[in-house]
Amino acid sequence: MLVAQILKILEKIAPLEIAFDYDNVGLIIGGTQKQVRRALLTLDCTKNVVEYAIEHKVDVIITHHPVIFNPIKSIDSDTVVYKLVQNDICCIAMHTNLDLANGGVNDRLCEKLALKNPVGIIPAKCEGYYQARLAKLESEFDVEEFVNYVKQKLSLNSVRFTKGEGPIKTVAVCSGSGGDLLSEVIASGADAFVTADVKHSTFVKADELKFTLIDAGHFETEDVVIEPLLKTLQEQLPQIEFMTYHENPIKYL
């Protein structure tokens, strides 16, 4: 199986053209004609991930966050990029295209939270794709009950949130950094918004509007896509041995 063939499958799952213009997606390191026997799925291509890939003779790493995002001025021998090239390991990114894709990160977050009948809200640049989802809970919750519900579903010890007015029945979600969408989410009719990387000023705004805004963590709201993606790729590419690597760089006390 060639990298080029894997790219065609990934393109069907999350088309490159729907990614935000600022993004860097697709094949970032390596060549399309490389033979692939083992592949690794992970959120970030860190030094730990690369060491794991080298140890397990991985041919390609498929990440959510691109290994090269900002321009590189130099490549030291201790960097991830250098080690990938040195060990002939390809790296593919599925970033904002996977966030927006139908069945992508946002939809998997809805599944993890057991939300029903999700619909897309806040249109992206390509027709038919949306930056967030709006869905229903099976039962109404008051605010603190819903916060604890989110913690339980995502296996969290704590979350940051504003305590708006209840009850909570309709929920908006945006995996990763979605705080900038607050106004559009409120306009959509949501009772609460689950996202991550929320700025202090955004919390202030939500609090003044008496709206429930929950920051459930960037890793926690995006890592939910890895295992479902693994299952999909195992079904479509049975000749490849797939592995996953889960590591949150943020620690909590």
CATH hierarchy code of domain 102-219: 3.40.1390.30
Domain limits, CATH 3.40.1390.30, in the chain: 3-95, 102-219
Phi/psi of residue 193, nearest 5 degrees: -135, 120
Residue 106 buriedness (CB in 10 A; 0-12 / 13-18 / 19+): buried
pLDDT tens for the chain, 253 residues: list them. Answer: 999 999 999 999 999 999 999 999 999 999 999 999 999 999 999 999 999 999 999 999 999 999 999 999 999 999 999 999 999 999 999 999 999 999 999 999 999 999 999 999 999 999 999 999 999 999 999 999 999 999 999 999 999 999 999 899 999 999 999 999 999 999 999 999 999 999 999 999 999 999 999 999 999 999 999 999 999 999 999 999 999 999 999 998 8
Task: Tell me what pLDDT residue 166 has.
Answer: 83
Which residues, including other chains, have CB under 8 Å from residue 89's CB and lie 6 or more apart? 29, 30, 50, 53, 54, 58, 59, 60, 61, 83
Closest CA to 196 of 226, 228, 159, 164: 159
Query: What residue type is 184 in one-letter code?
Result: E
The alpha carbon of residue 217 and the mean position of all alpha carbons in its chain are separated, in whole angstroms, by: 11
**Topology (CATH level 3) of domain 3-95:** 3.40.1390
Residues 6+ apart with CB under 8 A from 129: 18, 100, 101, 102, 120, 123
